[in-house]
Amino acid sequence: MQSDQVIALFKKCGALLDGHFILSSGLHSSGYLQSALVLQHPKHATAIGVALADRVSVLTPGVVVSPALGGLIIGHEVARALGVRALFVERQDGKLVLRRGFNLEPGERLIVVEDVVTTGGSTQETINLVRELGGVVVGASTIINRGGQHVFSETRLEALAEVSLPTYELNKCPLCIQGVSLTKPGSRNNSK
């Protein structure tokens, strides 16, 4: 699956949105990638998962770890394609934790998988957590990187597609100045 095919799929599924959005990072944007609209279709989720797995299989991870909520489906699909376990981390009292009986063995090789990366905050937080738990992070991957070059603590981000959508700090957002209604679609924002 090539970059243009990924973008075309997001457009076909109505997952490339225009408006005024507050992202999980707290930044504002006129564009939003709602990957859930693509991943709700199992055939699309499987195809994207296989494509990501093909890109990272050389790293030989034994586990896929994804931040909830956005990374859950794609992380599971990448793990299925690689034939490894799929774990997820979730927020508890504002920070990511590994719960639900999930565990990592010391030295276990893993890859962090996300749906969309903007600033990379959740990805870096996931990497930090699994390293604290003894995991060895061999890579990070995402369906779409909308935030430019990312290197997470010596771990490069592998993306199926790159999309440049503008982001603004709250006090510099032209959409706020124009009074455009704000939407909070992300999982950390009590989504619609």
Beta-carbon contacts of 154 under 8 Å, excluding residues fewer than 6 positions away, are: none
Please give the pLDDT value at position 149: 65
Q: How does pLDDT run across 120-169, given as a tens digit for each residue?
A: 888 999 999 999 999 999 999 999 998 766 667 678 889 999 998 888 99
pLDDT, greater one: 58 or 153: 58
Please give the pLDDT value at position 192: 36
Residue boundaries of the structural domains of the chain: 3-189
Q: Is the pLDDT of residue 189 over 60?
A: no
Q: According to the CATH classification, is domain 3-189 in 3.30.1360.20?
A: no
Computed over every residue of the chain, the mean pLDDT equals: 91
Q: Calculate the dihedral angle through the C-alpha atoms of 169, 170, 175, 177, rounding to the nearest 10 degrees.
A: -120
